[in-house]
Amino acid sequence: MNLYKPVLTVLLTGLTGALLHAQSATSIGSPNQAIRLTVQNSPSGEVTYQVRYKNKPVIEPSGVGIKLSRPQVTLNRFTITAIDSANVDDTWKPVWGEEIQIRNQYNELIVSLQDKGGSGIGMRLHVKVFNDGVGFRYEFPKQAKLDHFVVADELSQFRFASDHRTFWMPGDYDSNEYLYNFTKLSEVDATAALAKEKDIALQSPIGPNAVQTPLLAKTADGLYISLYEAAVLNYPVMALQLDKKTLTLTSQLTPDAVGNKAYLQTPAQTPWRTILVSDKATDLLASRMILNLNEPSTIADPSWIKPQKFVGMWWEMHVGKANWPLAGGKHGANTANVKKYIDFAAKYGFDGVLVEGWNVGWEDWFGNWKEEVFDFVTPYPDYNIDSLTTYAQRKGVRLIMHHETSGSVTNYERRMDAAFQYMVKEGINTVKTGYVGRIIPRGEHHDGQWMVNHFQRVAEKAAQYKIMVDSHESIHPTGLHRTYPNWMASEAARGSEFNNAPTLGITPEHTTVLPFTRLLGGPMDFTPGLFRMRLNQFDSTRTTRVRTTLAKQLALYVTLYSPLQMAADLPENYEKHLDAFQFIRDVPVDWAQTNVLAAEPGDYVLIARRDKQSPNWYVGAITDEVSRDLPLNLSFLEPGKTYEATIYRDAPTADWDKNPEAYVIEKKTVTAKTKLNLHLANGGGCAIQFVRK
């Protein structure tokens, strides 16, 4: 419900003829008044904003503006012509997610700006202040002096008050699959970070002082600050350029093949630039601000969109049991092998089976930058898709399609309708897309405007065919699963497949950083659930390994949310540990309530979630390389009710390095008054199911 304040609006607009021509400041607070944002207009025309949280500095006065190459004008000095304000407090229900209902409460300010340089161009600075952060964007209304225009650079700044310690990844236009670095801002060295990364297929580094968003900072006085973006549509992804002297981060947009950033026509708007802030780490993980900055669902009847768990013919290629191409004699996607996965999925209650390497073209798919790669409708001769889809249907299971484009996006766009029609014919309603390699159109980047628009087109086209999408090598998510709920998950970070990367792999702390960074924008297809930690099962020379305990792999199903969750390991590895595998079978993928109980980025995460379909609760706790004890107060359980707790925990001798597969399963009767202590081994975790009696 929109609750506008006409008195305040008229009063502020009335300042136009007097105060707004002199140096003036306008402030707006969050609904709980913890956050205050101030917009200031200097006599020279510079407009700055600053943000404070409980009177502590979050963002010091920072500039706003945008540079155009058509028309050739820099919009960074303005006259403020009007200021309007409003407050909003409503709720909405996501199709699926971490809560059954989300509150959307904020105060907003719309500052109308006129270019002081004489171009006649007007724009608006639109600000929303929530209890957990701030979002702002630029809006360009329809106007006589601006119709079609080209963005050369965005001039949004974020100036920190001190040299905060930050979690950051090196800026890159094509990959977000890096490990996070944790240093002071002044110690950011993207070049050194890039030099350590040997396992990323395609790198397009921006520069030594460039970092990606989201950027997470922790101040000396205990504030957690996240810089990110929301609702990235028809615009490139934003990285940040750091000025170490002033501790100012400036927006760095991904360029296209000729160096431009965005092609727009009025009316137009940029994505939201977001600043999450709290003095509690748990509040960052509980924030839904980025979702709230996105538009409501475009799908009128979403009843066909179903969260699901699946297994797949995928990990065996990573560990050397099989391969994607038919040539070589180890083709995994053959009819007999996939039937085994269907049987396994049916036996243990999984919804789907992902099959990779099913289609002709894998022999020369990577590294050749060729346009005609896959046609997405021609199976290899040893893969009888008609019989398999029929077989799966009889077993109550669906196949999940895999569309690897190898970066040839023009090829995929030409063939998308035929590919989705083929899926519908075969009774397949979920697709995993992939974009490994350099993009075609040649010269475009994964994070550029052209690709941002492509991912939107895929979501919209898939919805026409009632198909759900899981995208890999895509742009980082920015809450668009609210608008396109069939775009259910993305990779867009270093996922579990990097456990098999020979250089850095995945460190124990990585999964304790992801919830504070990548997952703020949306669900991740991390592919957890690995039960064999040394990856030499089919090749004794392999030294790669999974740096967690088995219990932590279970806990990831709770701490790393996705409505599409894969049980990533091989059936034979699960069948050796069916007691532990039971948790993966039981854990839901759609939640009614989420309580973040304890968290510290890079150290530990403890989350409790309530199933949407039952009164049962699930808890996941994970730690980094440090063993620790976490107290667990069960006050989130329904008072007066008794629950059976099944606890999957690290054994006393468990250790990610020396004894990763040691676990203990125990049952206890508990109530809301019960208090537990969770002991997490080095690189360990704990998963608990609470079933109400």
Q: How many CB atoms lie within 10 A of CB 519?
A: 20
CA distance 139 to 136: 10
* Contact between 14 and 44 (Cβ < 8 Å): no
Question: Quick check: helix, strand or coil at residue 512?
Answer: helix
Instruction: Please report the sign of the dihedral spanned by the C-alpha atoms of residue 626, residue 627, residue 628, residue 634.
Output: positive
Tokens of 619: 């808890």
Known catalytic residue: 497? yes
Dist CA 638 CA 242 (whole Å): 48
CA angle 317, 318, 324 (to 5 degrees): 30
Pairing of strands 148-154, 66-70: antiparallel
CA atoms of 159 and 185, how far apart (whole Å):
11
Residue with tokens 């090196």: 170
Identified catalytic residue from 108, 316, 356, 497: 497
Q: From residue 116, how far is each of 120, 123, 145 by CA, in Å?
A: 8, 12, 14
Helix then strand then coil, in percent of the chain rounded to 5, is 20, 35, 45
CB-CB contact of 65 with 75 (8 Å): yes
Q: Which of 524, 471, 476, 533 is nearest to 500 (CA)?
A: 533
Q: In 10 A of CB 561, how many CB atoms? A: 25
> Per the omega criterion (within 30 degrees of 0), is the bond before 571 cis?
no
Say if strands 47-53 and 133-140 run parallel, antiparallel, or are unpaired: unpaired
Determine the Cα–Cα distance for residues 224 and 217; give it in Å rounded to an integer. Answer: 6
Angle, nearest 10°, between helix axes 409-425 and 449-464? 10
Pairing relation of β-strands 352-355 and 262-265?
A: unpaired
CB 50 within 8 A of CB 61: yes
What are the residues whose beta carbons fall under 8 Å from the beta carbon of 91, sequence distance 6 or more? 101, 102, 103, 104
> Who's near 566: CB < 8 A, 6+ residues apart?
309, 310, 311, 312, 314, 354, 525, 527, 528, 529
Active site residues per annotation: 497
